[in-house]
Structures are given as C-alpha cells and as structure tokens.
C-alpha cells in the first residue's frame, strides 16, 4: 500500500473533505490539501475529489466544480499518466462533468435524496488495482439525490466490454437485481473506472469504524492505495 501523500481537493460546498482526510490518516497516509482555486497539485501523484454539494448543486451536480482552476491540473495529470484519481459521490459527478469518466449522474428515479447503507460488489477488476477482485463486497453508505448512472445503451455495453464497469449495487450475498438498486442506475452501476481514474457514488470515507456501521471503507481505500506501477 502506498503511503505517498494524497491531495484532497476542497470545492465550495464540499462536506466530506475532512472525513476523507481523517480516513486516509487512519491508514497512515499523509494528505496535502488543495483549494479549488489552486492551479497545481504539488508533488502529489494521487488525488481525491470528495463528496458534498459543490456550488450547492445549483446548476447540475458537479457542473461548475468541473470547471474550477484546480481541475486543469487534474486533467493534465491524468493526460500525462502522472495522477491516480478517486472521485467520491460529488467527486464522481465532477469527473463525469469534466469528461474524465464517461456517463452522467441523473436524479434518482424517485426524485428524492437517498441516505442509506448499501452493499456494492466489484463487477470487473480494474486494470491497475489488483486488490479489487471481482465479487468482493463492501457495505458503504450513499447520500445523494443525483446518483443514477446513465449512458446510452450501446456505450454502456462498450464499458462492460472494456472492463470499466467497476462497482454494482447488490444484495448482502452479492446478488444483483433491481431490488438492490437504490437510485435507478443503469445496470445497477455504482462506480466506473477507466485507466487510473475511478469514481463511485457510495462513501468509503464514512465507513471507517464499527461504531459508524462498517469498516469496509478502510478496506476500499486500502485497495485503492495499492495500485500498481507506483
């Protein structure tokens, strides 16, 4: 597991940046904090875009934050292969709005904010993360109103073929079906991974202690920190 410094970006309206810093601290990982107006990430080679409601979600979740100055540095780092990126909830929305991940997160099918504990499973093993094995399950919370992943059917089928559909909502035993789909995501998609860019709607940083309801978030972050080629 890498213990190199991880940059955590704060946007106006982020509310899980401190939780992310605390979770990484529990794993002994140093953190470099960055503000949305910054224009570089320093020496950090990993970055987390945390959850929250950047710019109040007033336009479309993540749409304004995706155009923040710091995102130029993120995009450049991805383009050059220097950066490993994790977007959590609003961070996932930002990555999709920026075009660093495919698809979009539309309003939940019931139109309501959902704040529940859910099971997710690794659907396909991401190329750079050997610790994420297909079938591995995590119990993590969600907290969003716009979390239903959507993409034209043909494009989503291509993501499956590419192995980019990373996480799916599932039952406690790993079964996949619409009854375990909390928001109406196509194919129960909970997370996407392309190259070294990963996004998911559930919050691993909120599941780091038994008294919170689960410690699976630590397992998830530890696996993310174990990427190859570092």
Return the closest-CA partner of residue 30 out of 21, 39, 42, 18.
Answer: 21
Q: Is 228 a catalytic residue?
A: no
Active site residue 203: yes
Q: How many CB atoms lie within 10 A of CB 1?
A: 14
Distances from the Cα of 201 to the Cαs of 86, 115, 218, in angstroms? Answer: 11, 11, 16
Count CB-CB contacts under 10 A for residue 128: 17
Residues 79 and 95: their CA atoms lie apart, in Å, by 14
Catalytic residue among 75, 179, 205, 230: 205
Residue of 96, 118, 144, 203 marked catalytic? 203
Catalytic pick among 16, 89, 170, 193: 89
CA separation for the pair 229, 186 (Å, rounded):
32
144 is known as an active-site residue: no
Burial letters for 92-104: b for 16+ Cβ neighbours within 10 Å, e otherwise?
bbbbbbbebbbbb
Strand intervals (E) in the chain = 6-10, 31-35, 46-49, 84-88, 104-106, 114-122, 137-144, 148-150, 165-170, 189-194, 197-200
Q: Quote the CA–CA distance of 20 and 27 in Å, as a whole number.
A: 11
Q: Active-site residues: which are they?
A: 89, 203, 205
């Amino acid at each position: 597991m890498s213990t190199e410094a991880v940059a955590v970006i704060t946007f106006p309206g982020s509310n899980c940046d401190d939780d992310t810093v605390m979770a990484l601290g529990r794993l002994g990982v140093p953190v470099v904090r960055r503000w949305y107006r910054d224009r570089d990430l320093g020496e950090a080679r990993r970055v987390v875009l945390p959850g929250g409601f950047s710019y109040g979600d007033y336009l479309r979740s993540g749409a304004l934050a995706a155009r923040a100055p710091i995102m130029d540095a993120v995009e450049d780092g991805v383009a050059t292969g220097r950066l490993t990126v994790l977007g959590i909830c609003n961070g996932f929305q930002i990555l999709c709005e920026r075009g660093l991940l495919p698809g979009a997160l539309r309003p939940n099918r019931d139109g309501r904010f959902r704040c529940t504990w859910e099971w997710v499973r690794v659907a396909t093993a991401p190329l750079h993360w050997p610790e994420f094995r297909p079938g591995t399950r995590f119990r993590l919370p969600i907290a969003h109103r716009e979390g239903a992943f959507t993409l034209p059917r043909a494009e989503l089928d291509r993501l499956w073929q590419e192995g980019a559909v990373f996480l799916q909502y599932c039952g406690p035993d790993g079964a996949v079906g619409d009854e375990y789909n909390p928001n109406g995501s196509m194919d129960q998609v909970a997370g996407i991974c392309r190259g070294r860019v990963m996004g998911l709607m559930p919050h691993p940083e909120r599941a780091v202690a038994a008294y919170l309801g689960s410690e699976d978030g630590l397992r998830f972050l530890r696996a993310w920190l174990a990427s190859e080629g570092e």
